[in-house]
Structure 1
Amino acid sequence: MDTIYVGNIGEEAVREELRKFKGSKLSGFIRSKNIVYYGKNFQLDFLVFVPKIGLVVLEVKRWQGTIRATCDDNWTQEYGVYKNEYSNASKQVLRTCGLLLQILEKGKINKWPIKPLVVFAHENAKILKGRNEKAPQTDIVRKASISSWIDENSSEEICYKFSTTEFERVKNIICQYTSEYIEN
């Protein structure tokens, strides 16, 4: 099956999940197509505006079966008799956060902390996280756990008020760098 098609199904499922919390746990979210920043391609599956956290960058995967997530360069997916290796999604979302930070700084709208999160959208995903020195670099949750992750990572001492103007400025600065995919 086409990986882009499968990815889009996963992202649509996460979008439906996020819509449930808009106005309560989150102020809004942005999705992007391919972004090119100084020759580096990346995509924001979701940039979520969470008043009690800041900005949360979601990297969405729709892998099914057992996923072994570690700090290594590749993660393993086992599904029936199939075994696949994919690039470490935690490293991917951290790279995305770093490039987003640079774009926001260039646009003089870097006002909030940025937190990465890997989300598995397939209901049959079983995530086995490495421990201690093999632990993945970021938090990883299933789609159904996004709400509880927001609760666990929220701070009562923080409340960012994302104005419509700020939301539009972030959206516009991201759009300035949206481009067709360019092979690196």
Structure 2
Amino acid sequence: MSSSPKRKSPTSSMSEPASKRPHISPPLAPLPPPLMQYPSVVYYPPYYPIPSPTPASSADERERARKVSHSAIERRRRERINDKIHQLKQLIPYCAEQENLHKMSILQSAIDYIAYLKDVVKSIDDDDALLHGADHVKIKVAKSMLPKEVEPFTTQFSVKQVNTIKPPLTPPQESKPTNK
């Protein structure tokens, strides 16, 4: 304390002439720096910086918009998957008549049904190989037994042309899924 210079009281400095008094600025708050230097800071009348809500909320808004956009994209993806699973369910005889099946049950039934159809195609191919050397009268008889409206579709949707009429193989019996 002894090393610090002695200060004069404010009243004593008033008695001195203005030329001898040290120049002291009035007790005002400092002026704000140029606004271009700190665009994210807003200065209010007391002139101390208060963080602006605009940049923070702008970043928050961008993040929120990104999340909303991602959620919408993900929701559309799930809707498309669910739609395709529903279409698959309608194509599988066992599933078409069932209600409230789990997606996994539908997919497993589709796998089983495709395996069954592959067996049917293999059986038809084997029969075709046996009949290939035989007379083709049976083939013409089988085709003539089909209604005229159905005949064009037999070649369009089959892997190989069906040569004989045989009772279709029965699809594998599905175990009843348990809804848990």
Structure number with the higher strand fraction is: 1
- Pair member with larger Rg: 2
Provide the TM-score with structure 1 as the length reference.
0.23
Structure number with the higher helix fraction is: 2
Q: Which has the higher contact order (CA 8 A, sep 6+)?
A: 1
